[in-house]
């Protein structure tokens, strides 16, 4: 290539851009007002795609060196910045490797899984192709209607075709996130859905009505309607309607927790009050558990204005009871099903302190296991595509739900009463958050 006199300065600029992306992943920043969204995307994509980030920087470095970037001091400064950025990303990538040990410790401590398997290694081919989701032996049935609200009342079914052993298949029910205002059923948790379906789980992912057109609890009503539909039609797909685990991320984690904590509550089942909406487990990822921010963790980054304007259509001052009912931390009770709460320390959208308070409150009253894994360095939405962290998360969730399934089958074989989230037709009592 013919050297360019502008190459050293251009290389310095590109190196600074790459270093800025690295900084977003490594640094834990939250209260930056309107910059929080671009910061989140930079931190999320750089942190979970660290290997790919280094790869594009390496290619850019080779090109700029060939163009004469090292013929002047700005180029050498750019090279120093780039190498430092690579070193920081390498360390951060190693931090993701700790995730497996964190999950192991959480499952051993909170689920008494001392004799269970430890996290497996992460195949490099999975990290190298982060957006390759479909796997052999799984059929995806799209856009099945479950309610009257068009595309927002459709779900996808992930049907195991080559699973070990015969059915009926246990069921995973997935709720997408998106701040209650955006999102689609086919955009999130795909690594987990395909993995479990390949292992003999019937997986269902549902849409629901979104704000600002929808007002809470419309979102919750829809996912409960979808859950009721899933139980009613499970046998048609080979599923076991008596064993369902609900999961979701972000707003989906919030709704998953409410589904688990408000089983069979007729307030959220208009027109299908008698439907069974119990679940046998709940796995919320980086959820929002307290609309009222009663512990003051968010400060000036409060979600109150956003929630009041778009989701709740009211304020805590004028309708506090509705805001309490919308907060999973205010709905904890002794008959809550087993929970596996997963959250990252670097989450800039849903604060990790919120998860800690929720877990403390739930553990204070629940008769069933409450597993909590706090992942160092993990940003919001870390599990959406294949990465080192998401692979460990898929492995850990698989161990959790399959352990619940084994225990449930053992109870049935012994003639014991199945462990349900709540007795059919009963509204769970709401415990004060202060009982943590």
- pLDDT score of 201: 97
- Report, as an integer, the average pLDDT of 95-103: 93
Give 387-396 pLDDT, tens digit per residue. Answer: 999 999 999 9
Task: Name the residue with higher pLDDT: 225 or 119.
Answer: 225
Instruction: Say what angle helices 190-198 and 388-414 make with each other, to 10 degrees.
Output: 40
> Residue 420 CB: number of other CB atoms within 10 A?
17
Assign domain 99-435 to its CATH architecture. Answer: 3-Layer(aba) Sandwich (3.40)
Q: What is the pLDDT of residue 163?
A: 53
What value does the mean pLDDT take over residues 55-60? 92
The band of 109, judged by pLDDT with boundaries at 50, 70 and 90, is confident
Residues in Cβ contact with 273 at an 8 Å cutoff, skipping those fewer than 6 apart: 266
Lowest-pLDDT range of 243-257, 293-307, 317-331 = 293-307
Per residue in 184-242, pLDDT (tens digit) is 999 999 999 999 999 999 999 999 999 999 999 999 999 999 999 999 999 999 999 99
- State how far the alpha carbon of 414 is from the alpha carbons of 197, 245, 343, 404, 408, in Å: 27, 22, 36, 15, 10
* Contact indicator for 100, 378 with CB cutoff of 8 Å: no
Closest residue by Cα to residue 330 from 368, 361, 363 = 361
pLDDT of residue 385: 95
Q: CB within 8 A of 114, min separation 6: which ones? A: 108
Q: Which of 347, 354, 383, 395 is catalytic?
A: 347
Given a cut of 80, whether residue 283 has pLDDT beyond it is yes
Rg of the chain on CA atoms, in Å:
23
Give CA–CA dist 60/351, Å, rounded. 35
Distances (CA, A) of 173 to 55, 219, 422: 36, 15, 18
Supply 113's token pair.
Answer: 């899984």
Give the 3-state secondary structure of residue 78.
helix
Residue 116 has pLDDT above 60, yes or no: no
Predicted confidence (pLDDT) per residue in 315-374, tens digit: 999 999 999 999 999 999 999 999 999 999 999 999 999 999 999 999 999 999 999 999
Band of the pLDDT at 110, cuts 50, 70, 90? Answer: confident
Catalytic residue among 53, 380, 386, 395: 380
Q: Is 250 a catalytic residue?
A: yes
pLDDT tens for each residue of 128-184: 889 999 988 999 999 999 999 999 999 999 999 865 556 799 999 999 999 999 999
Residue 424 clears pLDDT 90, i.e. is over it: no
More confident of the two residues 166 and 58 = 58
Per-residue pLDDT at 119 exceeds 80: no
pLDDT, greater one: 150 or 419 = 150
Catalytic residue among 250, 348, 366, 390: 250
Is the pLDDT at 429 greater than 80? The verdict is no
Share of the chain above pLDDT 90, in %: 82
Cβ atoms of 148 and 218 closer than 8 Å? no
The pLDDT value recorded for residue 124 is 76
Domain ranges for the chain, please list them: 7-96, 99-435
Residue 386 confidence (pLDDT) above 70: yes
The stretch 259-265 carries a mean pLDDT of: 98
pLDDT at site 33: 81
Selected residue with higher pLDDT from 51 and 286: 286
pLDDT of 425 higher than 50: no
């Amino acid at each position: 290539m013919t050297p360019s006199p502008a190459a050293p300065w251009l290389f310095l600029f590109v190196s600074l851009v790459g270093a800025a992306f690295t900084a977003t992943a490594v640094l834990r920043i939250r209260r930056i007002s309107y910059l929080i969204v671009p910061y989140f995307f930079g931190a999320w994509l750089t942190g979970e795609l660290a290997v790919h980030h280094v790869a594009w920087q390496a290619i850019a470095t080779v090109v700029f060196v060939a163009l004469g970037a090292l013929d002047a001091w700005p180029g050498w400064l750019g090279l120093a910045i780039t190498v430092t950025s690579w070193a920081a990303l390498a360390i951060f990538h190693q931090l993701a490797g700790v995730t497996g040990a964190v999950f192991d410790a959480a499952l051993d401590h909170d689920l008494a899984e001392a004799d269970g398997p430890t996290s497996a290694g992460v195949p490099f081919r999975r990290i190298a192709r982060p957006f390759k989701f479909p796997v052999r032996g799984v059929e995806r049935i799209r856009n099945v209607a479950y309610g009257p609200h068009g595309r927002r009342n459709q779900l996808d079914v992930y049907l195991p075709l080559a699973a070990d052993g015969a059915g009926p298949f246990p069921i995973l029910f997935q709720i997408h996130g998106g701040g209650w205002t955006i999102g689609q059923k086919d955009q999130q948790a795909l690594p987990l859905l395909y993995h479990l379906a390949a292992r003999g789980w019937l997986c269902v992912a549902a849409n629901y009505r979104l704000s600002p057109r929808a007002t809470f609890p419309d979102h919750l009503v829809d996912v409960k309607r979808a859950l009721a539909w899933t139980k009613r039609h499970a046998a048609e797909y080979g599923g076991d309607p008596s064993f369902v685990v609900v999961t979701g991320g972000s707003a989906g984690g919030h709704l998953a927790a409410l589904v688990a904590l408000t089983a069979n509550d007729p307030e959220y089942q208009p027109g299908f009050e008698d439907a069974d909406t119990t679940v046998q487990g709940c796995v919320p990822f980086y959820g929002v558990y307290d609309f009222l921010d009663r512990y003051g963790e968010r400060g000036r980054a409060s979600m109150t204005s956003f929630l009041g304007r778009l989701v709740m259509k009211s304020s805590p001052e004028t309708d506090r009871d509705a805001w309490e009912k919308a907060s999973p931390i205010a709905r904890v009770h002794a008959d809550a099903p087993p929970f596996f709460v997963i959250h990252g320390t670097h989450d800039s959208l849903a604060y990790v302190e919120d998860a800690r308070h929720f877990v403390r409150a739930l553990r204070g009253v629940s008769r069933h296991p409450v597993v909590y894994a706090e992942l160092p360095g993990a940003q919001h939405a870390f599990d959406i595509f294949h990465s080192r962290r998401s692979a460990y998360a898929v492995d850990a969730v698989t161990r959790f739900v399959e352990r619940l399934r084994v225990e449930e089958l053992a109870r049935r074989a012994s003639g014991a009463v199945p462990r349900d989230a709540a007795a059919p037709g009963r509204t769970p009592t709401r415990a004060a958050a202060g009982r943590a």
